[in-house]
Structure 1
Amino acid sequence: MTLLVEAIVVCDEVRKEITGKDIIIGAYGDGIVVPAYPANITIALWVLINSTATGNYEGELRIEAPSDNPPINVGFAMNVVKPELSPMGISGMPLRLERDGELVVSFRLKGEPWKRVARRSVIRIPSAPQQARRN
């Protein structure tokens, strides 16, 4: 594989500064806590991709939530002119959480198998403050 996911942050939002730096808002370190189900939240991903060879690449990220809804697939294209680390921010993905479980993020290049790159637990704690932004 010539594109590797080096790091991934599951968060509430990713913004771009005028200087070009990314701002990660509301990072989920260990898990997502909600006060009740169903919970409608909006998540974002900040992905650090290591490119080891030049070329044009097509890939996908898949987000699976503990619900009966189908996973979210996000396609992307990269033109690598110099092998290096490249950050990618994806914001505004609505999710419906229906039960305790795991949020799973997977990655693949076109034509390759999925590889799990991140997991976060999803848990309901009735007395906990809402951690995720509601729609």
Structure 2
Amino acid sequence: MSDLKVKFAFVCDDARREDNGKLIFIGVYAGSILVQSLPANLVLCLVMSIQTDRQIETPIVFQIHFDGESATEGATVITLQKGDNFSIFPGIPVAATQPCRLSIRVKFGEEEWQEVVSAEVLTLPSATTASQPPAEQSRRDARDS
């Protein structure tokens, strides 16, 4: 199955396909997943662009890791057409208990595991921290008063 290639992947809150075939991605995470507080229970959607040289039906196994430790696993079978394919895997439960690096690994059939997504899970800055002016602005304000 070495003719399968994950071109890119990302996680989001939801993904939908419209009646006209267009894809809609909601809440795409880029680099980090910010949550209000920890622990946090999320339901993520994995989106992958997969290229193949031929039509193929293959099992795929997913693993969710927190700081390198396996947390959960799931599997399904997918059918891919020759060329580029968008595969969407919704409803992936993720329970983060502390700030960590979340990674998603996939394995097609008997191939090697490959990491397709990696993101930091972090809490949002508190409202009081976020509203404080930067140090430079504070110095200017002090001079002006």
Query: TM-score, length-normalised on structure 1?
Result: 0.81
Shift of 1:18: 0.4
The correspondence of residues 93-104 of structure 1 with structure 2, limited to 5 A, is 93-104=92-103
Alignment pair present for 1:56 and 2:92: no
1:109 maps to which residue?
A: 108
- Equivalent pairs, count: 126
C-alpha distance 37-51 of structure 1, shift in aligned 2 (>3 A)? same
Letter in 2 for 1:117: V
Q: Which has the higher helix share?
A: 2
Note the aligned Cα RMSD (angstroms). Answer: 2.2
Q: Percent identity?
A: 25
Letter in 2 for 1:56: E
Aligned mates of 2:8, 2:70 — CA distance in 1:
26
Aligned mates of 2:114, 2:62 — CA distance in 1:
10
Aligned mates of 1:7, 1:79 — CA distance in 2:
15
2:83 maps to which residue?
A: 84
Misfit runs of 4+, over 4 Å: none
The correspondence of residues 14-29 of structure 1 with structure 2, limited to 5 A, is 14-29=15-30
Gaps of 5+ in 2: 128-145
Q: Secondary structure at the match of 1:112?
A: coil
Q: Tell me which moved more, 32-41 or 6-15.
A: 32-41
Q: Secondary structure at the match of 2:115?
A: strand
Aligned mates of 2:98, 2:53 — CA distance in 1:
39
Aligned mates of 1:20, 1:69 — CA distance in 2:
35
Aligned mates of 1:112, 1:62 — CA distance in 2:
14
Aligned mates of 1:25, 1:36 — CA distance in 2:
21
Return the index of the structure with the highest Cα Rg: 2
| Residue pair 2:57, 2:77 contacting (<8 A) in 1 also | no
Shift of 1:126: 4.7
| Residue pair 2:31, 2:119 contacting (<8 A) in 1 also | yes
| Residue pair 1:4, 1:49 contacting (<8 A) in 2 also | yes
Shift of 1:78: 1.5
Query: TM-score, length-normalised on structure 2?
Result: 0.76
1:10 maps to which residue?
A: 11
Aligned mates of 2:20, 2:58 — CA distance in 1:
26
Q: Secondary structure at the match of 2:28?
A: coil
